[in-house]
Amino acid sequence: MTRGTVLISGASIAGPTLAYWLHRYGFAVTVVERAPALRPGGQAVDLRGASREAVERMGLMAAVKRSCVDERGIAYVDANGKWLASLPMEAFGGKGIVSDIEILRGDLAAVLYEATEAGVEYLFDDAIAALDQHDGGVDVTFERAAPRTFDLVLGADGTHSRVRALTFGDEAQFINPLGGYTAFFSVPELIGEPGWLLMYSAPGGRTVAVRPEHGHRAQAMFAFQSPPLRYDRRDVEQQKRLLAEVYAGMGWQTPRLLDAMWSAPDFYFDLYCQVKMPQWTNGRVALVGDAAWSPSPLTGMGTGLAIVGAYVLAGELAAAGGDHRVAFARYEAALRPYVTQCQKLPPGGVNGIAPKTHTAIRLRALSTRVMTRWPMRALIAKMFERADGFALTDYPVPAER
């Protein structure tokens, strides 16, 4: 006997976390993922506050720590590689800009997948093509698999969610651009100082950074200010050409990183934006994670919110005995204030990570140097306390089957 059948779209962070808890609560779970396999790489993400507690409740913290990158702090450099300012990980007790638990998004997804693959059905290289809700469930048409009916459909498929588009309408009404773009990819050699995230900015609102990955590998990160750009989200080569044009002639390690970009298997490019919706549920369909409330990478809260949101949604479904009407209402009521708090952008928004002028670049270095001194330290510490602003409900978990 099960509490019902659930289809989850997306196998990154929120999706497998949802799958883990729903399976433990007695639901029959299927996860559909457009990619042919787990997506590797991605930006380094951290676990703080409630999300860290949720992972501990899953019994996965040891596995997460084994996959963490060695990151000792962040440093801003000039075109010659000279350090202008630095902030070690210990500066805010491991809860500052750089957390004491930093893991590549792809590695965290792999930990979550390995914890669920035995009890959850995964459909890779497929996607939802159509949804039709009725009193008895949701009829789902897949791009590849045969049509099926599920009691519930949960969209954990990111900022450009297919489930959201099919259920709530075009994404343009929910996505709020923040005036810039970002890219991530792995590079096959360690560039810079082992253990440190090094960041170089040039006037015009362009920043390039490199951080340690694993062993002798590293990860490149690009961020730049720009008005809306027209490009095909599925044309990776077009996105690489666009990035190369934006960063042409930029100094420091930029040419080496751009050379490595052409063969990177995990290239990612997207706009900085936030997703804001008046409601995350509609009938038998609910959204979670970036699909519902993406706070943008600028906040550093996206992964934590995805894990906490998945924990709450699954717990409320279990507490309501599978009654989605009761569970969805409680889910929205419980999370909305926390999401609103976590969506607050850091000072300057995109300009903070990609300053436009020499003066702004110098001021960022100066503020970093005084960040650990009073009274700046107290003000900055409050920004990092958002992750602790949510208490996890103790949903009863059935005994292991």
pLDDT of residue 212: 80
Taking the C-alpha atoms of residue 91 and residue 189, their distance in angstroms, rounded to an integer, is 28
- The phi, psi pair for 67, rounded to 5°, reads -100, 0
Tell me which long-range contacts 244-251 makes (C-beta under 8 A, separation of at least 24).
Answer: 246/206, 246/222, 247/206, 247/208, 247/222, 250/202, 250/206, 250/208, 251/79, 251/200, 251/202
Taking the C-alpha atoms of residue 144 and residue 128, their distance in angstroms, rounded to an integer, is 9
> Does a cis peptide bond (omega within 30 degrees of 0) precede residue 375?
yes
User: Are 355 and 347 contacting, i.e. CB atoms less than 8 angstroms apart?
Assistant: no
Q: What is the dihedral of CA 181, 292, 58, 2, to 10 degrees?
A: -140
Count CB neighbours of 198 within 10 A: 23
pLDDT of residue 215: 66
**Assessment of whether the complete model's pTM goes beyond 0.75:** yes
Structure token digits, residue 341: 């708090």
Taking the C-alpha atoms of residue 219 and residue 185, their distance in angstroms, rounded to an integer, is 6
pLDDT of residue 189: 80
Length of the chain (residues): 401
pLDDT of residue 396: 82
Helix residue ranges per DSSP H, 218-278? 236-246, 254-261
Q: What is the mean pLDDT of each run of 10 residues along the chain (401 residues)?
A: 88 97 97 93 83 95 89 91 88 65 90 97 98 97 98 98 98 97 90 85 96 80 96 96 97 95 94 97 98 94 95 97 96 96 90 95 88 63 67 79 41
Instruction: Scan for tokens 């044009």, then name that residue.
Output: 245
pLDDT of residue 377: 58
What lies within 8 Å, CB to CB, of 134 at 6+ separation is none
Go through the domains of the chain in sequence order and give each one's CATH number: 5-69+102-174+274-346 (3.50.50.60)
pLDDT of residue 216: 67
Q: How far is CA 375 from CA 84, 88, 89, in A?
A: 22, 19, 19
What lies within 8 Å, CB to CB, of 91 at 6+ separation is 73, 371, 372
pLDDT of residue 401: 41
DSSP per-residue codes, 273-290: EEE--S-SEETTEEE-TH
- Give the β-pairing of 44-46 and 28-33: unpaired
